[in-house]
A and B are shown apart, each in its own frame.
Chain A
Amino acid sequence: MNGRKKLSSLLAQQCLQQLMRIWFEFERDLGRVPIIARLENGQFTADDYRNLLLHLRQQVIEGGRWITRCASSFEREYVDVRNVVIQHAKDEHQDYRVLEADFIAAGGQSEQLNQQGRNLGTEALHAFLMYRASKPNPVDLIGAMWMIEGLGQKMAANWAERVDEVMGTETKCTTFMHYHAENDDNHIDKLYEIMDRVCQTEQDAAAICKTARVVGRLYALQLEEIDHD
């Protein structure tokens, strides 16, 4: 976070403070999800990892769709925001291929990839994001990006190394998790830069925070469902 300029509007600053709280709360929720608790307690297995990738895959594939839909929903007065979102979509819309290669490297079978549909949490998350992205000028999705990008950083900073310990680094099956480190830092910087721009009224701030909360809850549900599947 070094070197970032301060937000100029008080509203954007308050919104960022709320987003930080929502993120910290979400991190605690993640710690209570069984598969993540196993990862953090050192009880995670290779099966857990393959399962995690299988279940994340659908969401990563759909991720490319809601972000592009979101970009196209910004009208002319938000062309600068649209520009940032398009760039973001371009960077990520084929991420699922990296994830699939990791799954195979982790000992997964390619047919499993196609057999695994969206779990209940992924259904809800995807449906919500597509619904919001279809609204005109969906500034609230900045809250969704905040959460999803934060997750990318968390994977790289906390999860990837722990998975490596279970799988062995020689398997090179954590490229997806590691790779988010560089890219997502860049994305978070960009999000930060457009906070002042998108957070102009109290309604904007409330909508951004609400969407961030919903995304966090549904993402956690998606991970909880891995153990229910």
Chain B
Amino acid sequence: MNVFINSTGHYLPGEPIDNDNIERILGLVNGKPSRLKSKILQANGIRTRHYAIDESHTTTISNAQMAAQAGEDCLAKVGFNKRKLGMLSAATSQGDFVLPGFGSMVQAELQLPDIELQTSHGICSSSMMALKTAYTFLKSGEHDSALVIASELSSRLFKASRYEAASNVVDFNAEFLRWMLSDGAGALLLETQPRKNSLRIDWIRGFSHADAYPVCMTVGQPRTGSAQKSWQDYPTYAEAEADGALLIRQDVRLLDNIVKLGVDGYLRLMDEKQLNVNDIDHVLCHYSSDHFRSKIFDMLDHAGMMIPEERWYTNLYERGNTGCASIFIMLDEFLRTQTYHPGEKILCMVPESGRFNNVYMQLTVVES
């Protein structure tokens, strides 16, 4: 059974925020402008992004609501009747609540009756895990349709007050993501029958390497002390926060592994004959930062397996890095703004640095 992406949708909250206005929204930590900001922004190349919080740090739209907006946008484009939907597969790094699962909250927002529900938890690759689950459900004949939604509201983690509450333990690794991540949601409609303009999913394949690498991106782990200690091990949540255990951190020294593992997966897929680089017409890669784009290109190029640069599309620089939502937001904008033809192949790649999970997908443009 074939599975097709028959519609896409997105939601980006509020107006685009340029680099000069980031701290106006997120706030100045202890009243002082960041000294790292320009360096990190220069490396990631992001020029504008969206936030679901305002200058007073009021949340303007919840994560589940953003997910629902993207879902509505996706269904409306093809006039899909919500009551016919078989499955909702939702992904986020952090829902509005710790519990219940994010999917339940999104289902309620969307008012979807009697669906099969799936929530995928993780960081950037959680959207691809949610997509693969829906894809295999449809492929096995369990359902005829599924809505896959990925949404992120990370700006809540970046409010100045969060850093002030942990003022003795804010280091480079804790500040790094403040200038990288932003908010948004993307959605895909999967069906077993193609519509007029569809993308057939040829394959989806993930390779996770958590067994061989330490955690690289965390929320809930303190900076110092035992690597096993969790935010939940503190007597009170206030103590966990004061110890910096609720800050989102990236161990930047481990980041280069993501490039190597990304290329490794690419080589594996070539060896398994799933991927033929000469067949690929468009590449959509969720690299978190421009810095990694050139490193990926160098490595692919020198091993003689580069897909020409003009075939690579991204909207990272204008829409920001929206974590797991990025790849869906990118695919949605690609389909709306770029030129592509029936028979062309699209390679999507999501290398995640959380604990190194890389997911790849090949799509073929079909017209019926």
- Report A's interface with B, CB cutoff 8 A: 1-2, 4, 6-7, 10, 13, 16-17, 20-21, 24-25, 27-29, 31-32, 37, 40-43, 157-158, 161-162, 192
Chain A residue at minimum C-beta to C-beta distance from B265: A24
Whether the pair A158, B253 counts as a contact (CB closer than 8 A) is yes
For the complex formed, measure the closest distance between the CB of A176 and the CB atoms of chain B, giving whole angstroms.
20
Q: Pick the contact of B253 from A1, A4, A21, A161 — CB < 8 Å?
A: A161
Chain B residue at minimum C-beta to C-beta distance from A31: B212
Whether the pair B261, A24 counts as a contact (CB closer than 8 A) is yes
Whether the pair A40, B303 counts as a contact (CB closer than 8 A) is no
CA–CA, A4 and B304, complex, Å? 12
- Report B's interface with A, CB cutoff 8 A: 209, 211-214, 227, 253-254, 256-257, 260-261, 263-264, 267-268, 270-271, 298-299, 301-305
Whether the pair A7, B304 counts as a contact (CB closer than 8 A) is yes
Whether the pair A4, B264 counts as a contact (CB closer than 8 A) is no
CA–CA, A58 and B263, complex, Å? 34
Can you list 13 residue pairs at the A/B interface with Cβ under 8 Å? A20-B303, A21-B267, A21-B271, A24-B261, A24-B264, A28-B209, A28-B212, A31-B212, A31-B214, A37-B214, A41-B214, A42-B227, A158-B253
List of A residues within 8 angstroms of B271 by Cβ: 21
Whether the pair A32, B303 counts as a contact (CB closer than 8 A) is no
Whether the pair B303, A2 counts as a contact (CB closer than 8 A) is no
Q: Pick the contact of B263 from A2, A20, A25, A41 — CB < 8 Å?
A: A20
Whether the pair B298, A17 counts as a contact (CB closer than 8 A) is no
Whether the pair A31, B267 counts as a contact (CB closer than 8 A) is no
Whether the pair A13, B227 counts as a contact (CB closer than 8 A) is no
For the complex formed, measure the closest distance between the CB of B205 and the CB atoms of chain A, giving whole angstroms.
15
CA–CA, A40 and B227, complex, Å? 11
Chain B residue at minimum C-beta to C-beta distance from A29: B212
Given A28-B209, A32-B212, A43-B227, A1–B267 Cβ distance below 8 Å? no
List of A residues within 8 angstroms of B253 by Cβ: 158, 161-162
Whether the pair A6, B267 counts as a contact (CB closer than 8 A) is no
Whether the pair A13, B304 counts as a contact (CB closer than 8 A) is yes
Whether the pair B302, A4 counts as a contact (CB closer than 8 A) is yes
For the complex formed, measure the closest distance between the CB of A7 and the CB atoms of chain B, giving whole angstroms.
6
List of B residues within 8 angstroms of A37 by Cβ: 214
Chain B residue at minimum C-beta to C-beta distance from A33: B212
Chain A residue at minimum C-beta to C-beta distance from B304: A13
Most buried by A among B214, B254, B298, B299: B214
CA–CA, A6 and B303, complex, Å? 8
Q: Pick the contact of A6 from B256, B270, B299, B304 — CB < 8 Å?
A: B304
List of B residues within 8 angstroms of A6 by Cβ: 301-302, 304
List of B residues within 8 angstroms of A32 by Cβ: 211-212
Known contacts A13-B304, A43-B227; 12 additional CB pairs below 8 A are A2-B298, A16-B302, A16-B303, A20-B264, A20-B299, A21-B271, A28-B211, A32-B212, A40-B213, A158-B253, A161-B253, A192-B302
